A and B are shown apart, each in its own frame.
Chain A
Amino acid sequence: VSRRILIVDDHAGFRASARRMLEAGGFEVAGEAEDAAGARVAVTELSPDAMLLDVQLPDGDGIALAAELTADGGSPEIVLCSSRGADELGSALTRSGACGFLTKDELSPAAIRELLS
């Protein structure tokens, strides 16, 4: 199944690496956003199937954004990611409505595919 995925991260270098990797792994990258505001707009305009969402965004908290988007229903499936470990992020992670969490260096098409239903 071809999945259209949105990449949300404030580091352009990481977005570029992630795009190369996901495209090589058979995903279609629907778009990129660099902050929470951009992510909300992109979700509405691009209706991606899934979203790779950084936990720390310059204008807010990725975990809170995930909770906000999934609360409505009809949100894309969300995989949270961070260069910090899950143990540094606390229990909010499990209550975010996201379907999974990856540290950034664990990112691979296979790992994403496993987390998405």
Chain B
Amino acid sequence: VSAARTPLRRALAGIAIAGVLLGIVTFVMVASSEVPTAPLLEAFLTLLVGWSFIGTGLFAWDRRPSNLIGPLMVGVGFVWMLAEFKTSDIPLAASIGFAISSLSISFLIHLLLIFPTGKVRSRLDRFYIVYAYVAGGFVAGFPILFYNPATDPDCKHCVTSNPLLIHANLDLVHAIFTGLSAVSVPILVTLIVHLVRRARAADAEERRSQEPVWWAGLATILLFTAALLTNLGPESGNYDDVVWYLANFVIATVPFAFLLGLLRTRLSEADLVAEENVRLDAELQARLDELRESRARIVEAGYVARRKLERDLHDGAQQHLVGLALDLRLAREKLDDDPRAAAEMLDEASAELAKATEELRELARGIHPAILSDRGLEAAIESLAKRAPVPVEVDASLDHRLPEPVEAAAYFVVSEALTNVGRHAGAGRAEVEIRRSNGNLVVEIKDDGRGGADPAGSGLRGLADRVAALDGRLEVEDPAGGGTIVRADIPLSGNGAS
């Protein structure tokens, strides 16, 4: 199952790497900036919150791939760290940070409303979500176009320029933020009431999954309040900073609450089906890829085999027959003048003919062994064993004939494995075992050689494809005691057997 989910896992790994990189960039940027009061602490806290959200979000994403909660949590982590760019002393980074500094709150409100199913439940919920993104993403973001930090008396340590500035108007910026707060605070209050009501209406099981998120909700609101207080209240020493740092510690625990709540949630039937579909899709995709590759390899193997056959015919039997033709013609010419020489020529010709016949017999057997179709797998394996370069013990117990494709695949597995034993293994002896087991034909070839066969080599790869075409499996292992074991497991049903 985990292997079939690799496309998702791969994507998550990519996001994880991006999150780590962004974390490092943010840390370096904030820690080296002169804007924050305590740059190192600020950088550390940012990393703590950002990575908490990304890490737990990825975990949730992996566990509940069809639920939006995981991706949203990851999103909070990224936006959180990007927003911290506002404390950078690089002007463009600071401007971007300012522009998106409220977006993580939009994400959090979205999270609270769709928890734990990942789906929007009502039109009212949809209103809150849309409002959150419009207010936190757009209305809080676009005033950066009119904000000139150089003219802001509240901005003591800020960067002195804003590359996104198109028209400086500090009053407009203040007006927008005052308006935003004036509208948002009452809406937030109704949101809290809405959520509290929903919680009180929850049954025991819902409550169990929602309890951890209460903490998350409270902490989110705490953060928002703290942010509002620091923005609206008078400048009073380190008070702002202390509130802010404390809020950070609280916020870092929020994603764990979401994760805990999510994992406590029993999946509904529909969700289970959706999860299963995601998993099956991934499995199907992996299987399709594998099929596509093996089909290409089988076509290629067929092409290579035909080329080799032509080459073998040309280099072998045909050369002997050419020699035979020349010798016969020469013998004919010598017959009258020099009968002794003619007789010698005819002997040569006979020898060439014998070689040609032997080559053709060998080739024909390579294409398809007649003994296999005539007398069955056991007899064919016995004959392979006799011609093998090392002594081979055959242990076969088949009571009757098997489907032809299965017999052929098994035969070529043994043939190739024994050829490898002779060529590479440096073995002294080999064993071939053939048996039926649980509706499968199991073929096992063991030798006592040095092992180290390469399953990705063309011979074994071709065999694996051939076996896979019958829905079987080919395994190659080097057991602890030395030697090599090649094992093919080929199902009989679906391959012509009842």
- Residues of A that sit less than 8 Å from B by CB: 11, 13-14, 16-18, 20-21, 24, 83-84, 104-105, 107-108
Contacts and interface: CB of A to CB of B under 8 A. Distances in A.
Contacts of A104: 319, 322, 325-326
B294 to A, nearest CB: 33
Contacts of A16: 323
Interface string B338-359: 0000000100100010010000
Contacts of A18: 326
Contact of A17 (B314, B315, B348): B348
B320 A21 contact: no
B319 A11 contact: yes
B314 A21 contact: no
A83 B322 contact: yes
A83 B322 CA distance: 7
B323 A17 contact: yes
A108 B319 CA distance: 16
A83 B318 contact: yes
B423 to A, nearest CB: 21
Contacts of A21: 326, 329-330
Given A13-B355, A21-B330, A24-B333, 16 more contacts: A13-B320, A13-B352, A14-B322, A14-B323, A17-B322, A17-B348, A17-B352, A20-B327, A24-B334, A83-B318, A83-B322, A84-B314, A104-B322, A104-B325, A105-B321, A108-B329
Interface in B296-321: 314-315, 318-321
B329 to A, nearest CB: 6
A105 B480 CA distance: 56
A104 B322 CA distance: 6
B345 A20 contact: yes
Nearest to B318: A83
Nearest to A20: B330
A20 B345 CA distance: 9
Interface in B179-202: none
B225 to A, nearest CB: 85
A1 to B, nearest CB: 20
24 contacts: A11-B319, A14-B319, A14-B323, A14-B326, A16-B323, A17-B322, A17-B323, A17-B326, A17-B327, A17-B330, A17-B348, A17-B352, A20-B326, A20-B327, A20-B345, A21-B329, A21-B330, A24-B334, A83-B314, A83-B322, A104-B319, A105-B321, A107-B326, A108-B329
Contacts of B319: 11, 13-14, 83, 104
A17 B326 CA distance: 6
A24 B341 CA distance: 10
Contacts of A14: 319, 322-323, 326
A105 B323 CA distance: 8
Contacts of A24: 330, 333-334
A83 B317 CA distance: 11
Contacts of B326: 14, 17-18, 20-21, 104-105, 107
A100 B320 CA distance: 23
Nearest to A9: B319
A52 to B, nearest CB: 12
Nearest to A56: B314
> 6 smallest A-B Cβ distances: which pairs?
A104-B322, A17-B326, A105-B325, A17-B323, A11-B319, A13-B323
A13 B329 CA distance: 16
A18 B318 CA distance: 15
A11 B320 CA distance: 9
Contacts of B325: 104-105
B314 to A, nearest CB: 6
A21 B318 CA distance: 18
Contacts of B315: 11
A7 B329 CA distance: 19
A30 B345 CA distance: 22
A111 to B, nearest CB: 10
